[in-house]
C-alpha cells in the first residue's frame, strides 16, 4: 500500500522512533534504517522490508521492486510470508522527526532483523572478527563493511559492543549486516567453551589471534594453517584480559600509539584475506 502520512502521530512514524532504542528493536525483531543507498542494499540482499517512509518528491526514486510490491494486491497469506509492505509518503518535517540522524534524510525503512547464530559462521575455515567491547556504533558498522569487502566468515560481538543493528551502525555498514553473519551477545567464555567443545569432538577449530596495539607479531608476516578468529578491542585499552595466553598480532606503525579500531579492523581484514588468498600483496 502507498499512502499519505499526515503528521507525527501516525503509527509508522511512532514505530520508527521507538525502534531507535535497542529494547524495542529486540522486542519486535525489527530494525530502522535510513538512506536511499542503504535501502537499495537491503533490497539487493533480499531483506524483509516491512515499511518505508519517504519524502513525496522521492517516491518515484524508490527501488522498482518495492513500488511494485506496495502497489500490488496483497495475497491472503501476506502477513505470514513477510511480503506486506507499506510506503508512507511524508513531508520533510515529519520525516526528520522520525529520523535518528536528522538533517537531509530522504528515506527511512523498517525491516526484519537478520537472525544470525554462531552456527552460521564458518570459523574453522575462514576469518572471523570478534569485537570485544567496541562501543562506537560507527566503528562497528565500518568493521562489518570491511568484513564483507574482504570475504570474511562473519563478525561476532561481545555483550559490551555497540549494537551492530542500530541506526548509526547500519548507516556506517551500508547494509553489510544483511550480507555477512553478524552474531551478537557472545561472551568470551561462551566462544572459548564452544571452541573447546569442538576440539573435544576432534573437529577443526580456528586459531585465536588478538590484535594488540602495543606488541605482537607483524600481521603482514603471520601465518595460519586454518581458520582464525581475530579479536579487536577498544582503541585505548585493547582486548580484555580474558584473552591472555592467545597469540598476539599487531600492525606496525610509523608513529602514534594506536589507530582507530575501524581502521585496524579493515587492515586486519585485508591482511588476513591477502595471506589466505596467497596474493602476496599483489
**Domains of the chain: which residue ranges?**
2-112, 118-277
β partners of residue 109:
33, 52
pLDDT of residue 250: 78
Please tell me the least confidently modeled range out of 8-22, 23-37, 218-232, 267-281: 267-281
Q: Is the per-residue pLDDT at 121 higher than 60?
A: yes
pLDDT tier at 258, thresholds 50, 70, 90: low
Topology adopted by domain 118-277 = Alpha/beta knot (3.40.1280)
Q: What integer is the mean pLDDT of 251-279?
A: 76
pLDDT of residue 281: 42
CATH class in words for 2-112? alpha beta
**E strand intervals along the chain:** 2-4, 30-34, 49-55, 86-90, 107-112, 127-131, 154-157, 182-183, 207-211, 217-218, 228-232, 247-250
pLDDT of residue 180: 95
Q: Is the per-residue pLDDT at 175 higher than 70?
A: yes
Amino acid at each position: 500500500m502507498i499512502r499519505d502520512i499526515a503528521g507525527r502521530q501516525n503509527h509508522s512514524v511512532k514505530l520508527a522512533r521507538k525502534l531507535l532504542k535497542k529494547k524495542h528493536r529486540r522486542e519486535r525483531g525489527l530494525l530502522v534504517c535510513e538512506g536511499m543507498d542503504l535501502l537499495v542494499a537491503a533490497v539487493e540482499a533480499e531483506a524483509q522490508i516491512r515499511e518505508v517512509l519517504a519524502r513525496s518528491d522521492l517516491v518515484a526514486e524508490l527501488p522498482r521492486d518495492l513500488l511494485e510490491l506496495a502497489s500490488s494486491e496483497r495475497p491472503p497469506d501476506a502477513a505470514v510470508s513477510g511480503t506486506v509492505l507499506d510506503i508512507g509518503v511524508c513531508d520533510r518535517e515529519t520525516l526528520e522527526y522520525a529520523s535518528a540522524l536528522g538533517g537531509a534524510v530522504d528515506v527511512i525503512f523498517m525491516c526484519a532483523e537478520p537472525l544470525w547464530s554462531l552456527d552460521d559462521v564458518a570459523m574453522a575455515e575462514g576469518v572471523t572478527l570478534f569485537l570485544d567491547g567496541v562501543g562506537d556504533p560507527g566503528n562497528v558498522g565500518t568493521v562489518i563493511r570491511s568484513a564483507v569487502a574482504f570475504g570474511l566468515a562473519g563478525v561476532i560481538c561481545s555483550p559490551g559492543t555497540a549494537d551492530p543493528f542500530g541506526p548509526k551502525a547500519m548507516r556506517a555498514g551500508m547494509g553489510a549486516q544483511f550480507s555477512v553473519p553478524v552474531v551478537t551477545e557472545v561472551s568470551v567464555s561462551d566462544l572459548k567453551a564452544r571452541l573447546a567443545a569442538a576440539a573435544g569432538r576432534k573437529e577443526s577449530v580456528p586459531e585465536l589471534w588478538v590484535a594488540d596495539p602495543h606488541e605482537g607479531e607483524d600481521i603482514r608476516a603471520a601465518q595460519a594453517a586454518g581458520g582464525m578468529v581475530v579479536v579487536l578491542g577498544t582503541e585505548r585499552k585493547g582486548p580484555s584480559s580474558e584473552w591472555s595466553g592467545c597469540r598476539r598480532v599487531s600492525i606496525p606503525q610509523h608513529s602514534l600509539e594506536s589507530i582507530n579500531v575501524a581502521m585496524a579492523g579493515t587492515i586486519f581484514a585485508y591482511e588476513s584475506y591477502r595471506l589466505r588468498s596467497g596474493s602476496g600483496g599483489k
